[in-house]
A and B are shown apart, each in its own frame.
Chain A
Amino acid sequence: MARLGSYLHRHPRLRLAGLLSAPLLWLVVAYLGALAVLLVSAFWTVNGFTGEVVRQFSLGNFRTILTEEVYRNVALRSLGVAAAVTVICVVVAVPMAFFMAKVAAARSRHWLVIAILTPLWASYLVKAYAWRILLANNGPMDTLFGGPGYGLPATILVLAYMWLPYMILPVYAGLERLPDSLLEASADLGARAGRTFRSVILPILIPSVFAGSIFTFSLSLGDYITVQIVGGKTQLIGNLVYANIGAANNLPFAAAIATVPVLIMVIYLLAVRRSGALEEL
């Protein structure tokens, strides 16, 4: 044991290899490998009747996606939903997290964190269905606000509801780390609260907000269940993927559609990575 320890001490690279081999085997070989195969299969086709995959290179799937207007519309709609959900979550989460981290007494902070975490355990489906009731004709929302009923706005609202805790948590963690002295320095230099918020808090919080947005954005981008429950006749990109794989068994076409959110997310991750967001998750 000690001899091994001593040997490893002299060979840090071996220690590194030991640490990395299993995770990389899992994430690179298994996960990325599976993804790669999936993306490759986007170039295959399927026998329309028997559903057998035909392993023959073809750009047909992509041609359909690029030429049929509906795919562009759905992609843009999904992007819009993901962006809107993210914006709503930021707008709601930042003041809440700020209250939790900087205003609430240390004792109640405890309970507030619990209050934010607890809903994560209530089933996603059940919550979506609860919203279906809230949004129904003559239901509570309809009675109180006269809408919005089922449809795109409802989808955005409910998705924002679903992922809000995922935004609050990293923002809260970021704010907790933000030294009070920075806020005091800002006030000391003449800035009112609003100014301090815009010029000091928000910029420093950006990585945390991006971290939260990875959740709100990606979970919204891929969702197909909430939209079925409260989306009225709306369809999003997740529905198309699901319709083609879960339902129509057209893996190649589903894979081709799936490249769209994958591409969007990879670009998004690369963009926010520069802010340090990936460290704030």
Chain B
Amino acid sequence: GCGGDGGGDSAGGGPGGLTVPKIDKLAALGAGEGEVNVVSWAGYVEDGSTDKSVDWVTGFEKETGCQVNNKIAGTSDEMVALMKTGEYDVVSASGDASLRLIYGGDVAPVNTDLLSNYKDVFEGLKNKAWNSVDGVPYGAPHGRGANLLMYRTDTVTPAPTSWSAVFDPASPHKGKITAYDSPIYIADAALYLMKTKPELNIKNPYALDDTQFQAAVDLLKQQNELIGEYWSDYTKEVQAFKAGNSVLGTTWQVITNLTKADGAPVEAILPTEGATGWSDTWMVSAKAKHPNCAYLWMNHIISPKANAGVAEWFGEAPSNKLSCAETKDPNHCATFHAEDEAYFEQVWYWTTPLAQCIDGRKDVTCKDYSAWTQAWTTIKG
């Protein structure tokens, strides 16, 4: 496994004895350095160059004098890779990236006292397993969402209620089912097995021992027969559902909204088993060359207006309580269940799988993320 052989300086024990490199948080805010290098999900950092009315960067730049250089990453894995280069200051990391960044020493703890907007963040998002270690926060929560099940209402009848719709080997929609193209999707299978195969005793879809993992992989290999294509960018997903190349599969709320807006007969549900999901956190690089601008950015992006802007443009639930009052669509927070903690109870946020099982088991080793990655290759064949 990948036990912590790091030795030396360490602050606190990580999952299963992993140690977190000791990195100091920024003590006090200084003057901005003039620029900040950002890694983000598409749509998180808009400066009006895409659409004049969508801009929460220009104002920030004017106000702080920090020029924003944004690099868009397609997947969590890319984000980790980019942050490892040390060329970036802040990142909008999802839960399956954040721990890797923390334990890799790529990001520093965050001094939340320096973020005036931190106090308005939903408590349900603070100090979670994916954004803190031993109560030390490593970032500012940005927003969250669930990986839903979308289907075309004209072809998929009766309407599905369970993930079984995408795993049924006898599915009438064989060849038109889609799934998210990332190793983390193994968790979706695990979640399904957790509910349908209690004998496997899965407690957390991100903590899978050999047998559990094998069962999930087998299920996905079987599912591969049904898959038309895997998706990772949402234009592709929208277009596939509109054209009918895909009729059933995972989605994000925003994709569903777009597809509907384009007039395609689709619907998305949170299946009975619950779902995986994401909760993103802005984190600051341990090697940040522009730490002050990075803090200014983090504070800005979770401010009610900017946070509302992102949440609406991207299509997710905002992290700041006050954002719900700032959205152009008054129903935005309702649509995305922003204040519905019960809804998010059913959501297993993306978390990086580790060798030391994060569900607390000590007697077995779990499959770590590199195993998940290699398994994903095998699943796709």
Interface on A for B, CB 8 Å cutoff?
Answer: 46-52, 64, 68, 70-71, 73-74, 132-133, 136-139, 149-150, 228-229, 231-233, 235, 240, 243-250, 253
Contacts and interface: CB of A to CB of B under 8 A. Distances in A.
Nearest to B374: A64
A246 B78 contact: yes
B244 A138 contact: yes
Given A149-B245, A247-B81, A49 B355 contact: yes
A25 B352 CA distance: 43
B239 interface: yes
Interface stretch (B44-52, B125-133, B227-235, B330-338): B227-235
B167 to A, nearest CB: 15
Given A249-B84, A250-B370, A49 B354 contact: yes
Q: From A149, A150, A233, A250, name the one whose CB has the most chain B CB atoms within 10 angstroms.
A: A233
B369 to A, nearest CB: 6
Contact of B369 (A49, A52, A73, A233): A49
A232 B378 CA distance: 16
A186 B352 CA distance: 70
B124 interface: no
Interface in B242-282: 243-245
B245 A248 contact: no
Given A243-B77, A247-B373, A253-B374, 18 more contacts: A49-B100, A49-B352, A49-B354, A50-B104, A64-B374, A74-B377, A137-B245, A150-B229, A233-B227, A233-B380, A235-B377, A235-B380, A235-B381, A244-B373, A247-B81, A248-B77, A249-B81, A253-B370
A54 to B, nearest CB: 9
20 contacts: A46-B370, A50-B2, A50-B105, A68-B374, A132-B236, A136-B240, A136-B245, A137-B243, A137-B245, A138-B244, A150-B228, A232-B228, A233-B227, A233-B228, A235-B377, A247-B75, A247-B77, A248-B81, A248-B370, A250-B370
A133 B1 CA distance: 45
Contacts of A46: 370
Contacts of B370: 46, 48, 248, 250, 253
B368 to A, nearest CB: 4
Contacts, number: 104
B135 to A, nearest CB: 21
A245 B78 CA distance: 8
B81 A68 contact: no
Contacts of B376: 243
Interface of B: 1-2, 6, 18, 75, 77-78, 80-81, 84, 100, 103-105, 182-183, 224, 227-230, 232, 236, 239-240, 243-245, 352, 354-355, 368-371, 373-374, 376-378, 380-381
B95 to A, nearest CB: 14
B378 A68 contact: yes
B81 A245 contact: yes
Nearest to B179: A233
A132 B237 CA distance: 12
B377 A243 contact: yes
A50 B229 CA distance: 31
A203 B2 CA distance: 58
Contacts of A50: 2, 6, 100, 103-105
Contact of B368 (A49, A149, A228, A235): A49
B150 to A, nearest CB: 16
Contact of A250 (B6, B103, B229, B373): B373
A229 B237 CA distance: 10
A136 B78 CA distance: 28
A247 B371 contact: no
A254 to B, nearest CB: 10
Q: From A74, A244, A247, name the one whose CB has the most chain B CB atoms within 10 angstroms.
A: A247
B229 A243 contact: no
Contact of A232 (B2, B81, B229): B229
Given A137-B245, A248-B370, A51 B381 contact: no
Contacts of B18: 49
Contact of B100 (A51, A136, A139): A51
Nearest to A246: B78
Q: From A46, A48, A232, name the one whose CB has the most chain B CB atoms within 10 angstroms.
A: A48
Contacts of A137: 243-245
A138 B370 CA distance: 40
A31 B75 CA distance: 29
A111 B380 CA distance: 45
A248 B230 contact: no
A137 B77 CA distance: 31
A48 B371 contact: yes
A12 to B, nearest CB: 46
A237 to B, nearest CB: 11
Contacts of B182: 247
Contacts of A138: 243-244
B63 to A, nearest CB: 34
A132 B246 CA distance: 13
A163 B110 CA distance: 49
